[in-house]
Every structure is written in C-alpha cells, then in structure tokens.
Amino acid sequence: MTISAMVNQIGESGVVAVIRLSDVRRLKSILGAIGAGGVRCLEITMTVPGAVKIIEEVAAAAPAGVLVGAGTVTDPATARAVMDAGARFVVGPVLNLEVIRAVKDRGCVAIPGCFSPTEILAAWNAGADVVKVFPATSLGPRFIRDLHGPFPDIRLMPTGGVSLQNVGEWIKGGAFAVGVGTDLLDKQLIEREDYAGLEARAGQFILAIQEARGQGGSK
C-alpha cells in the first residue's frame, strides 16, 4: 500500500482511534467493535504494556481496509521497531525530525506532534504526511481554521479534546482527520464489556464527520 493510499484512507475515515488501554485482555473485542462501527485507523500507543508485540498481532490479523499504526513514538529506534512489527503509520507527541526521516525511509506515514505554527511548518517541510496538532485541548477548532490561511495544504489532525460533541466543529474548521481516545473508547462501556455500545459510539463519530463534510450519512 502506497503512502498516498494510506494517507487517503486516514483522511477518508476522518478518525484515528488512539488506544492507551492498560488492560489489553479486552483489546481484540474493543478493536472489533469500533472497526464494525466504521473506525478503521487504529493507533496503538507505546504506553500500552507490550505495545510492539500487540501491534504485531493486530497488524497480522487486521482485515482488509484496517490501517494499524503506532503512537507516542519519540525516537527513531522505537519507530523502526513498530514498523518492523507492522505499523503503517507512526504518530509522535512531539516533533522529532529523526523520527520523520526513519518513517519516510520505510515508506510509512509520518504524523509528528506539533503545537505552534513554527513546528507545524517545520514538520511539513521535513516530509510529514499529516501533522498532529497536540494537545488540541487548549487550542480549539478556531486554531485549525486560522492555520488554513497561511497553510492551506498542510493536513492537520487535532488530537486531545476531540469529542463526539465537537468533532464536527474540528472537521468544519478544516481538520484532515481527528485523533480520539477516551471519548471514543468510553471507559464505562469497556468496563461493562458493552461492545455493541462501543460499535454504536464509533458509528456516531463516523456519522458526525460525514455530516460535517456534507457527505450524508452511511458508514
């Protein structure tokens, strides 16, 4: 799968599920539920115990159309390890130019984390395919809209503070996609093992994104 095709898949999906679960026993069921709801870009973070092995297992078993990536990657060695395990996109919480180079050398999608306009432009010029705006909690959708004035071509993915209630605002503001963790992977639903509820919540996110894009409403 080419970088262009993978980037397009992230954009078309509109949401990347940020998975930071400490209890990995339920992970397979959780991923199946949100996948059934239409969320098909999965970011397994390095804060998950045994993350590299989990990425390897999930990537090997992932059905066609599901893109598996790694998150919270802060150094080139970790980037290479997760790509060896099958991650097709690599997300960082900060801007690390060496990580971008390592990811691009392997033909994977580089998504560094940036906060300021200066960092965002530096990441893009270094070859980032998408720029994660993080933490977006303290910035708000208007920040994305304002950035599109000077940077109309940069693909921005706000992460942090994105919820079902405001996801449409981020998309209308110009977000290429959004990264969502706790509001998608609802803790109470997981504790109850309510996988039908998780599937429904994922579907609500997809629908909200489609509506914000004026696409109507089928997953």
C-beta of residue 147 within 8 angstroms of C-beta of residue 176: no
Compute φ and ψ for 201, nearest 5 degrees. -65, -40
Three-class secondary structure of residue 207 per DSSP: helix
Pick the catalytic residue: 28, 53, 132, 211? 132
Q: Name 89's bridge partners.
A: 69, 109
Pick the catalytic residue: 43, 56, 169, 199? 43
Distance (Å) of CA 68 to CA 26, 40, 107, 201 = 17, 8, 14, 20
Write b or e for each residue in 53-82: b if 16 or more Cβ atoms lie within 10 A of its Cβ, otherwise e: ebbbbbbeebeeebbbbbbbbeebebbbbb
- Active-site annotation holds for 43: yes
- Which active-site residues does the annotation give? 43, 132
